[in-house]
Structures are given as structure tokens and as C-alpha cells.
Amino acid sequence: MRIALAGLGSAATRGHLPALAALQTEGHIVVVCGADPSVDRRRSVALQYPSILLFPNAETMLDACAVDLFVVASKPESHASLMLLAARRGLHTLCEKPLTVTGADHWRIDRVFRSTATALVLVQQYKYAPMWCRVAGYARVAAQLRLPFLLTIEIDREGGDVHASSPWREHLARSGGLLGDHVVHFIGLARQIASDVEPLEAFRAGHDDRETVSARLRVGSGTMALRASAASSARRTEVQFKVGPLILTWRDDAAVISAGKHLRRRLCTDAISSRDYVDSLYLPFYESVLIGLRDDAWRRERLLEALDVDRVLVALIEMSFAHHEMRT
């Protein structure tokens, strides 16, 4: 399979390219080309991956290179136009989160990709974290039994991403801020638990690297409550699942399962607050993609999943901006 990337910033150099290089070494894929308007980013990638052909823009790249899979890892405001470029050329497409952040872009993507046979896959590497698989498994059973449950997610980050090549989060209207960055991961995870995920409310305060947001979703028979802050002094993620007397609390590299006041089990795990760990999850993500792309049903489900997650995200962004404007 021949692969092209658009966007050679932090997501590409820390997540996509290392995973793809490992798969290329095994003979599964070939990374043919990459595009980025930044000369410095192209030069940096050329030094590390000299076999990749590099271009200043995606359209020129796709005119020059024959590829099967197009990876969108650029700034959020460019995602919609790049996905549409891929769709016109009949390419399978993987897109970094957020897929889109406006209703107009969402419905354009929805209309175009539903009418094609090509895949549209939202990059969701968190789902390959073993502890999340355990949490999601418990929640799916609760949803199947129609039991009420509560998933609480708390995310603390220390302002801007030091690895990002440019501070895209400062443009909230174009990026979705924390909702389009950290919270969207958990919207995707909610969609793993139940196909009926609906936005209930969202609130935003502050701005740029001092932003805080909260949101609530209905997830089947349960509720997901999310809080994210970019005003913290440390990186921390806590996931807590409650159903009846059972409580599972996953705080970074440790998890505790209890029933009532009785400790049942303590587990060591990996922390999704760790950038290195999250970046390592791109490899199992790509391994699943390479297998799944051969299956029509898998491609259809990934399209519906991507569109559902984006629909919920766009609604939450609109709710949060409406609330913010009312307060100000």
C-alpha cells in the first residue's frame, strides 16, 4: 500500500511517521510522499526519512505521486479541504482529530463521503490502550443490559503543546480548542461503547492556553461527563467508571477496581497523559487499518463512526461558544 501524508508537524513526526516506518521495514506499506508548506518541517523530515518525496502542498503532491491511502495530519482548519481533495481522487483517507469543527464543513464531508466507496477513518489511537479496552468492555456490558452508568473524565494539561510546530490552539474558532483536541478522543471512545451518543451540554471559559471546558454526553444507557483544563501545572488524566456498586478508577499509570468500600484489585497500567505512550499507540492503530481496509463492512463502520464523532463534537463546540458568548 502506497501512502501520502499532508502535514509534517508534531502528529506526523511523533506518531504517524515512526509507526509507518516500522510497517515499511516489515514490507507492509511504502510511505511515498509528504506535503507541508513549511520549508523547515520538510527539511527536518527529509533528514530523517530521505526516501520520502516532499512537496509544499498536497494537490501538487497528489498530481505527482500515485498513492492508495492519504493521511491528513495538518492543522484542523485545513482538514475539510484536504479530505475533499482525497475524495475527488478516490483515495482512502485517515484524518487526525478533529475531523471538522463547523457544521458547514461537517455536512460537506458527510455528503461527499457517504456517496463514495472510499474509506474515511478518524485517527483514534486511544482505543488501543489496554486499560481503556477494559473500561469500554465494562461500559458496553452495562449499555447492553440498559443499566445506568457514569463515566467521568478529567484532563489536566500545562497549556500549549511544547512539541507542536505552531500554536494552532490559539485559534479556537478554527481548532475547537480543548474540545477539538483532548475531549474529542473521549467522544470517539464513547462511540465504541454505544452507537447512540448524543451531546447534552458544553461550557467553555478562558481562552488560548488558559482554556477550561466541560461537557456531558448521553452514551446509550449511561452518561459521560468530561472536564478539561489547559491551566494546570501538570499533565494528568483520570477516567472513572461507575455502575451499581462497581467503581473502576484509572488515574494515569494506576487503576483500582472496587465495589462499595471494598478494594477488589489494584492494577499497574500505562498513562495516556504520557505523549510517548500515546504516540506508541499509532502502530496498533495502523496495523488494524491495514487489515480493515480490505473489508467493505469495516470501511462503512469507520465512516459512520467518524461522522458520528464529528457530529457530536461540532454540536458541543457550538454549545460551548453559545454559552461563552452569553456569559461575555
315 in the same domain as 204: yes
Residue 93 in any domain: the answer is: yes
207 in the same domain as 99: no
pLDDT of residue 172: 66
Computed over every residue of the chain, the mean pLDDT equals 92
321 in the same domain as 178: yes
User: Average pLDDT for residues 319-325, to the nearest whole number?
Assistant: 73
Kindly report, residue by residue over 152-199, the tens digit of the pLDDT: 999 998 865 555 544 545 566 678 889 998 999 999 999 999 999 999
Q: What percent of the chain has pLDDT over 70?
A: 93
Kindly report, residue by residue over 217-235, the tens digit of the pLDDT: 999 999 999 999 988 888 9
User: Average pLDDT for residues 28-46, to the nearest whole number?
Assistant: 97
pLDDT of residue 63: 97
All three cell numbers of 110, joined, read 458527510
pLDDT of residue 323: 64
Residue 72 in any domain: the answer is: yes
46 in the same domain as 72: yes
97 in the same domain as 64: yes
Domain that holds residue 257: 126-273+308-327
208 in the same domain as 229: yes
- CATH number for the domain including 88? 3.40.50.720
Q: Is the pLDDT of residue 280 over 70?
A: yes
Residue 21 in any domain: the answer is: yes
Residue 302 in any domain: the answer is: no
77 in the same domain as 102: yes
Q: Is the pLDDT of residue 326 over 50?
A: no
313 in the same domain as 166: yes
199 in the same domain as 72: no
User: Average pLDDT for residues 236-253, to the nearest whole number?
Assistant: 95
Kindly report, residue by residue over 114-152, the tens digit of the pLDDT: 998 899 999 999 999 999 999 999 999 999 999 999 999
201 in the same domain as 59: no
User: Average pLDDT for residues 304-315, to the nearest whole number?
Assistant: 97
pLDDT of residue 164: 53
96 in the same domain as 149: no
Q: Is the pLDDT of residue 67 over 80?
A: yes
Q: What percent of the chain has pLDDT over 90?
A: 83
- CATH number for the domain including 184? 3.30.360.10
